[in-house]
Structure 1
Amino acid sequence: MADLQDDLHTGTEAGGLGDLSEPLTAQAYPPEPYAPVSDPDDEPLTRAHAVLAAHPVADGYSGLPRALGRLPWYDLELGESGVDTDVPRLREGHVGALLWSLHLPENPENPENPDGDRAVGATLEQLDLVKTVVRAHPEGLRLAYDAGQAIDARNCGRVAVLPGPAGAAAMGDRLGILRSLHALGLRVLTLSGVSWAGEAGLTRFGEEAVREMNRLGVLADLSGASADTVRRTFAVSKAPALCTRSGARALRPHPANLPDDLLVELGAAGGLCMVPLTAEQTGPTVRDVADHLDHVRTVAGPQSVGLSGTYDSGTAHPLELGDPSCYPRLIAELLRRGWDEADVALLTWGNFQRVLRGAAFTARAVQQRREPSTATIAELDG
């Protein structure tokens, strides 16, 4: 894990925060060349490639680190058939940024702690693996820790890789470990599966953890969290939260999908619902996924909907959306439904950039008035 020791940093955003009052799209960035589609008569698909060349996809969840751990050898730049994701398919799908999951396998003997006392160490190993994989593929991938670095990577022809989300168990109920994980690159933490963020909502320690995440610039991921945890996080957090894998429960009653009342609250709080491309959560066809995107956009607002491929996470994907190269097919379906380029730009790139910038802006403001918290779970919840 020597790579971790080489990369202790807090991450500063290249290019500054910009004007947060303006809706953020990718229109200011130079478009990338795109390959001709297989059917030149499919006008929506041709348009989809052109739109995505200017406004690439920011994908909210990739299980690639764990998937690569099962392979004896791989080359993501050349192409890798053993996984869903590699650089050629990311480029074909116009993916500009990815959140790489650090989630651990669930421990059925202790569901409150996915990997028992090993959660912290196992997450450190996952962070080290992410850095190792990215450094082994410098022509295709680049680590990024904020919005500016994601833009820089894209402008250099690389796919930006942001570490996270990790499960809340990764911080071992200690805020000092949370700070260490942030220094090593973690940018998203899922608030579920721990005593301080459970069915009853956030405890006093959970609220303190959210405040410390705000101070650091670590985003709260609320996919799979209880309704009480979601609502309390919206109330406590000064930074926008996101759901890295949540569709509309009104369309499909999956526990990780959000009911309409929470979608309304998420939109009011400036959060982001990243709709997963999985058959289980959003349905078996590209039209089903588009239905969820339509619904979330209508209920939460156009600035609160994003995309989450969830590739290499062990889930089945809808027809025509089997790997990241298929994103143009989804965007073509949205264009057929009347989405304009501005709405697609927010969906694919702008909304995720806004949330990253919001987290960085909040961190800078909170650091002016708040020292690192020394509170313990025993003090607050004992």
Structure 2
Amino acid sequence: MEERAARVHKEAIIVDGHNDIPSVMFATGVDLAARRAPTELPRLHTDLARMKAGGITGEFFSIYVDHRYAEKPTVRGGGSARHALDLIDIVYQQVERHPDALMIATRAEDIRRAKREGKVACLMGVEGGHAIENSLFALRTFHRLGVRYMTLTHTNTNEWADSSGYGGVVVTRHHGLTPFGEKVVREMQRIGMLVDISHVSDETAAAVLKMAKAPVIASHSSARALAPHPRNLSDDLLRALARNGGVAMVNFFSAFLDPKFAEAEERFAQKYKKELAAIGPKYETKPLEAEREMIALREGAAFPVTPLSLLIDHIEHIIQVAGIDHVGLGSDFDGVTALPAGIDGVDSLPKITLELLRRGHSEEDVRKVLGGNFLRAFEAAEAYAKGTNTTLSGDGDTTSIDSVSADAGTR
């Protein structure tokens, strides 16, 4: 079985929908060629050696924009759009430094070419719709720079879409999408940028899936039926995603897989509420120190170990509800604090292939989960974009918040 799994994994095109290593590189200066440099880095899930060992073909590097960049721009980090540009540049820098191992990818065919050439296709997805600063001009510019999906919200509700929230705090302002939010979705699909419904509220996800003309993805969300976290997808949303032709890419974070771990996480958050709130202001310009203090706090708490079997359970549940063509992988590597047993980083991906085969899934179906399903959805989104009218109307392009809120229309 191990030999069979190794063969299937080597042959497959493997796509990971979400990896936060750009934020780590921005904060620390670490290069993908070094497993742990600066040497003081507490943890790292991603580097060139691990990506090669894990057999990864396409990696979506997250252009994660914390909502604080929108609330309080800084000299170092700028505002939302500026920070997104910084992280996009970091991805390009890595490709320029390591051309033998990495290549920029903007099309499904680029991912296939990376497989043939033995490279990793570097894709990008903006995490947090506030990054476009309510401008379709900015949205299109990010697309021209290579961004191929955008998560409509992060943990914050923005001016045009509601978030699923964070830590039990949910801010509902729109009950889905505003008229401008609908324009964002239509424009994303017109230009071939995948709409990502991870992090959005159920109402927002339902609104997207009702209007979408091309496949939609959830880049890093698991199944709510197995772990009742608002970040996960309900069975109703999974079925709607399947009707849309989209893909739910399973998140590896223990809190999204394991109810017992999520309960321990909640106890930890309540017990250390004051300490956690103080870390950000205390280490505003010292991310490594903030990370060390967070790890020290977590080491003093009792967290259960999530078995790898639960990750596979989530994949299988989505297969049962949505179908084999609508599930993929969205690890959230280098963006989470805990992973299932045996999953230590990108190099652990072969274990998923082995477990799926052990449970009786066919080699063809395993290849679909590993990356084939995403490729199919990506190609369908590209085909839809090619078939749409490419003439810009200018509709809704205003950056005025008042105009966004009122949906002032053309100008």
The TM tier, using the shorter chain, reads 0.7 to 0.9
Rounded Cα–Cα distance in structure 2 between residues aligned with 1:226 and 1:326: 31
The amino acid across from 1:373 in the alignment is G
SS of 2:123's equivalent? Answer: strand
SS of 1:101's equivalent? Answer: strand
Q: Following TM superposition, by how much is the alpha carbon of 1:324 offset from its aligned partner in structure 2, in angstroms?
A: 1.0
Equivalent residue for 1:230, pick from 156, 181, 205:
205
State the Cα deviation string for residues 197-253 of structure 1 (Å, max 9, x = none).
114101111111111111111111101111111111112221111001111111001
The equivalent residue for 2:9 is 52
The equivalent residue for 1:202 is 177
Rounded Cα–Cα distance in structure 2 between residues aligned with 1:143 and 1:79: 21
- The 5 A counterparts of 1:1-382 are 43=1, 45-74=2-31, 76-77=32-33, 79-80=35-36, 82=41, 83-107=44-68, 118-192=79-153, 193-198=157-162, 199=172, 200-283=175-258, 284-367=306-389, 370-375=391-396, 376=398, 378-379=402-403, 381-382=405-406
The 3 A distance-change label for structure 1 pair 182 and 347 is same
The amino acid across from 1:144 in the alignment is A
TM normalised by structure 2 equals 0.77
Rounded Cα–Cα distance in structure 1 between residues aligned with 2:178 and 2:27: 37
Q: Following TM superposition, by how much is the alpha carbon of 1:72 offset from its aligned partner in structure 2, in angstroms?
A: 4.0
TM normalised by structure 1 equals 0.83
Work out whether residues 134 and 404 of structure 2, in 8 Å CA contact, stay in contact via their aligned partners in 1. Answer: no
Q: Following TM superposition, by how much is the alpha carbon of 1:339 offset from its aligned partner in structure 2, in angstroms?
A: 0.6
The 3 A distance-change label for structure 1 pair 109 and 361 is closer
SS of 2:183's equivalent? Answer: helix
> Which ranges of structure 1 fall in alignment gaps of 5 or more residues?
1-42
Q: How many residues align?
A: 334
State the Cα deviation string for residues 144-167 of structure 1 (Å, max 9, x = none).
001011111221110001011331
Work out whether residues 296 and 305 of structure 1, in 8 Å CA contact, stay in contact via their aligned partners in 2. Answer: yes
The 3 A distance-change label for structure 1 pair 379 and 231 is same
The 3 A distance-change label for structure 1 pair 147 and 185 is same
SS of 1:164's equivalent? Answer: strand
Work out whether residues 77 and 83 of structure 2, in 8 Å CA contact, stay in contact via their aligned partners in 1. Answer: no
Q: Following TM superposition, by how much is the alpha carbon of 1:56 offset from its aligned partner in structure 2, in angstroms?
A: 3.0
SS of 1:239's equivalent? Answer: coil
Work out whether residues 77 and 140 of structure 1, in 8 Å CA contact, stay in contact via their aligned partners in 2. Answer: no
Rounded Cα–Cα distance in structure 2 between residues aligned with 1:178 and 1:105: 17
Q: Could you tell me the percent identity over the aligned residues?
A: 33
Rounded Cα–Cα distance in structure 2 between residues aligned with 1:109 and 1:189: 16
SS of 1:70's equivalent? Answer: helix
What CA RMSD, in Å, does the superposition of the two structures yield over aligned residues?
2.1
